[in-house]
Each structure stands twice: as structure tokens, then as C-alpha cells.
Amino acid sequence: MNSLTQKEIQDILNCAMQDITNRMTSISPCEHDAAFSGDICTVHTTFEGGHHATLTLYMDMALLQRLTQRVMQQNQVEPQDVEDFTKEYFNVICGQVASKLFQTAHIRSRFCIPRFCRGRYVPKDEGDCRCVLNYVSNCKEGVQLIHQILPISS
């Protein structure tokens, strides 16, 4: 697993999620599956280079709406604003993950531009090692981050 244990990857992911998100709102890890409303979105990307993996984030739209409003300092935001914010927010998380991978294990990695979709997008299940982190916001909205190591294509 690129010389990192699953626990080390989990710690890197958790640190990035909590650090970036806690600057805007409070989220806390939860030991059970995240409880989502019926309105969620997915943002996902693929890491390439020394760390070949997918990273997928599911979040309640109410939380994303609130985060977008806070960042834009506006009560009314458009769906495109929420999508743009979500991709940038995830981009920052992925950047911190890539940085921590290098700091921790000297793994150079880059990630593709995050993709956004309404609802639950499930990437192909080709990977062998899955790490699932569940969170709940201070308003009880669900957040789930899934990391999956992918086989290196020949």
C-alpha cells in the first residue's frame, strides 16, 4: 500500500477532513454510518503517481449550502455556487492529503480535477483496500469520506 498502513492513511484523511472543515463548521467523527438526508451530493477524484487511489466524499446538501453561504457571505446562493464551492473545498482537502502523503512517506502524488454530481455516485469497485470515515456536522448532517487503493495499470 505504497509503504503506508491503512491506519496511517486513515489518520491523513481524518486530519485533512477535520482541519479544513472545522475552519468553516464543526464536524465530528462518528463510529456508525453517516446518517444522510434524502438530498446528498458526491464529489470525487483519482490520485495518480506514487499513490494510485480514488477519494469520494458524500455530503448532505444542507451542509454544503450552509458552507457555501458562509464562505460567500450571502444568504442566497445558486446551485452553481454550491457546486463550485464543493469542488474547491474538496480540492483543498485533496491538496492537504497529497501534501501529507509526501511529508509522511515521501510519496509524490497528484490528483485529477474533482468531479461533482447530485445524488450518490459510486465509483467502480476495483480497489482492494477501502477506508471509510463517517462524520456528523453540528446540525446532524451526514458526511462520508471513502478512500480506495486502485491497482496499478500495466
What amino acid is encoded at 17 in this protein? Answer: M
Element (H, E) at 15: helix 6-22
pLDDT of residue 2: 47
This prediction has a pTM of 0.88
Task: Please determine, for residue 70, whether its predicted confidence score (pLDDT) is greater than 60.
Answer: yes
pLDDT of residue 1: 42
Q: For residue range 80-138, what is the model confidence (pLDDT) as tens digits? A: 999 999 999 999 999 999 999 999 889 999 999 999 999 988 777 666 668 899 998 88
Distance, in Å, from the CA atom of 19 to the CA atom of 50, rounded to the nearest integer, reads: 24
**Secondary structure letter of residue 23 according to DSSP:** T
pLDDT of residue 154: 44
